[in-house]
Amino acid sequence: MTAATLSPTAPLVRPARHVVLALILAALAMAPTLAPLPPAIRPLAPLAIAVLPFAGLIAFSNPFALCLAFVIFSFFRIHEAFPALGPLHIPQLIAIPTLMVLCWHVLVKRSIELYWSRLLTIFAIFFVFVTLGLPFAVSRPEAVGFYTANYWKVAIMTLAIAWLTRRPRDFAIASHAFVVAGVLIAGVAIYNRTHGIGLVEGTRVTIGRDIQSLLGDPNDLSLVLLFPLSFAVSLFARRTSWLSALFGMAASVAIVVAIIDTQSRGGLLGLMTVFAVYGARMIKSKALLITIAVVAAMALFAAAGISGRQSGGSAETDNGIDESSMGRIYAWHAAWNMALARPLNGVGLNNFVINYFFYSPHWDGHNHAVHSTWFDVLGTTGFPGIIAFVAMVVTVIRMSFLALRKLESVKAPMPARAMGHAVLAGVAGFCVSGTFLTQGFTWSIYVLVALGTAIAEYARRLPDSPQGAKVEASRGPAVCLPGPARGTVPASRAMGAGRGALAMADGLAR
């Protein structure tokens, strides 16, 4: 089908049997997830099945919201922060419908534009390097297990978010959703710190440590909290609305307090970097900016009580280097040795810790994490992997910067400009905190790559004048439809299929 066959008065509507078939398949796919429910929740299963067709129609008409929900539950681990949600297995419950909805819109409905960019090419190259390294990993079960359980989902959602985030409304929804999730995690962290729940070394806060949660490590918790901080600051720094500004300010305070409670030095450095990016825009005097940064750094490290930590504190400092810092240096040396021994593919995905003993120059009886994104990627994927990874990070910074400059020049809608600034600040925070924390194969950088791609594509399509940008924003971005001759139509027409499905459901209900 080409753009010429579409009429403004005749939206693309698929036959009803396609929608019904998709709902039946979704129900069959989700049925096995009801079996492990505990007895207290199992009686609600019939109600869930009854609501499923209507939820399916909403999901099929709004794939962006479904993908965003999957990313939030998988990244922020909401179900682990609130144990009552654990038996529902929400990430697994959302995963299959998310994939089905994406396949429906890409292969059947063909309403999602599958554009490509230089950033996505570099991301694909890095993904290929990681995938090709699986059969050559030192421990193939370890590498394949991590890949199938986590990494391939991250890769698919990276493309999905990049292609589905198209309008200023999408940017606003994504920003607020990330901030809400961050506030929820920050609230649990502050509660745990106040009541002494799950503390490491007596002072460092964690979440769900007793259930082996991914948030059970204070460094990993600080990484999860650092991601929504850039979006929270953008809400009040760019002032999309007064309500959003107040919400962003309150959320920023809560997230900062929670990061301080983790006592993670990498998290604190990332926090300062995020604020420095926004401060560089608002404060013209560089001397004043540097002075504020130094004072803020001293205040943050004092408030966090870094010197009083059992690991990395002043009590274990010897010749200016504490035991925690020396452990990092030994781990980085081990990663370098891994890359030298296996330069093309490294030791394999998620294989650093189990190979630490064989490559570290110092052994204290325990395997250690690398505590550096860059050295983790180097040791596990080799020199080709680290080159592709660094190129991906550099490219997302450059594309976000150029997109933000154009968005500012043409006076684009504020949600788009806020998103551009949030991505730039988020990537900067990732680069600094990632030097001391391991996050090369977790969600944060890949979500930023997806949003950076989306905001760059949105900026590319805007006219070069403020008046044209306002008109384009009101019409929405164009959506390409595959066919013998590719064309573009406004997104409002392509979304006609979703409205047609809702109208059909309303007719069936009557």
- pLDDT(291) > 60: yes
Shared domain check, 72 and 139 = no
Residue 372 maps to a domain: yes
More confident residue, 178 or 63: 178
One domain for residues 56 and 169: no
Banded pLDDT at 426 (limits 50, 70, 90): very high
Is there a single domain that holds both residue 487 and residue 341? no
Quick one: pLDDT at residue 485? 35
297: number of CA atoms within 13 Å, CB side? 14
* Helix (H), strand (E) at residue 345: none
Are 370 and 392 in the same domain?
yes
| 470, 464 contact by CB (below 8 A) | no
- Mark whether 122 and 167 lie in a shared domain: yes
Q: How far is Cα of residue 36 from the mean position of the Cα atoms in its chain?
A: 28
Question: Average pLDDT in the 380-402 region?
Answer: 95
Name the residue among 495, 479, 385, 451 with its Cα closest to residue 71. Answer: 451
Residues 54 and 153 in one domain: no
pTM flag (> 0.75): yes
* Closest alpha carbon to 405 in 464, 449, 478: 464
Residues 166 and 80 grouped into a single domain: no
212's tokens: 């082996």
- Domain assignment present for residue 325? The answer is no
**Domain range holding 77?**
1-114+482-510
Counted domains in the chain? 2
Instruction: Average the pLDDT over 89-97 and give the result.
Output: 80
Residues 301 and 437 grouped into a single domain: yes
User: In this structure, are 41 and 72 located in the same domain?
Assistant: yes
Q: What local confidence, expressed as pLDDT, does residue 42 receive?
A: 55
Q: Domain for residue 435, yes or no? A: yes
Residue from 86, 6, 14 nearest 57 by CA? 14
pLDDT (tens digit per residue) in 95-147: 878 888 888 888 887 777 788 999 999 999 999 999 999 999 999 999 999 99
Predicted pLDDT of residue 103 = 82
Where is pLDDT greater, at 310 or 161? 161
**Size (the chain), residues:** 510
Q: Same structural domain for residues 82 and 228? A: no
Count CA atoms within 13 Å of residue 112 on its CB side: 23
Is 55's pLDDT higher than 90? no
CA 178 to chain CA centroid, nearest Å: 9
Answer whether residue 225 is part of any domain. Answer: yes
d(CA 91, CA 370): 28
Per-residue confidence (pLDDT) for residue 428, from 0 to 100: 94
Q: Are residues 196 and 344 in the same domain?
A: yes
User: Three-state SS for 41?
Assistant: coil
Is pLDDT of 376 > 90? yes
Q: Are residues 135 and 110 in the same domain?
A: no
More confident residue, 504 or 296: 296
More confident residue, 36 or 480: 36
> 14 lies in a domain?
yes
Weakest-pLDDT range from 42-56, 191-205, 428-442: 42-56
Q: List Cβ neighbours of 250 (8 Å cut-off, separation of 6 or more).
A: 183
Cα 200 to Cα 216: distance, rounded to the nearest angstrom: 9
- Read off the pLDDT band of 84 (50, 70, 90): confident
Say if residue 237's pLDDT is above 70.
yes
The confidence score (pLDDT) of residue 383 equals 96
Do the Cβ atoms of 100 and 26 come closer than 8 Å?
yes
CB atoms within 10 A of CB 212: 8
Q: In this predicted structure, what is the pLDDT of residue 445? A: 94
Residue 247 lies in a domain: yes
The highest-confidence range among 112-116, 297-301, 419-423, by mean pLDDT, is 419-423
Q: How many CB atoms lie within 10 A of CB 237?
A: 22
**Residue 330 belongs to some domain of the structure:** no
pLDDT at 88: 76
Is 60 exceeded by the pLDDT of residue 206?
yes
Predicted pLDDT of residue 484: 36
Is residue 465 assigned to a domain?
yes
The highest-confidence range among 85-94, 126-135, 496-505, by mean pLDDT, is 126-135
Summary mean pLDDT of the chain: 79
CB atoms within 10 A of CB 308: 13
pLDDT at 504: 41
Residue, of 464 and 276, whose pLDDT is higher: 276
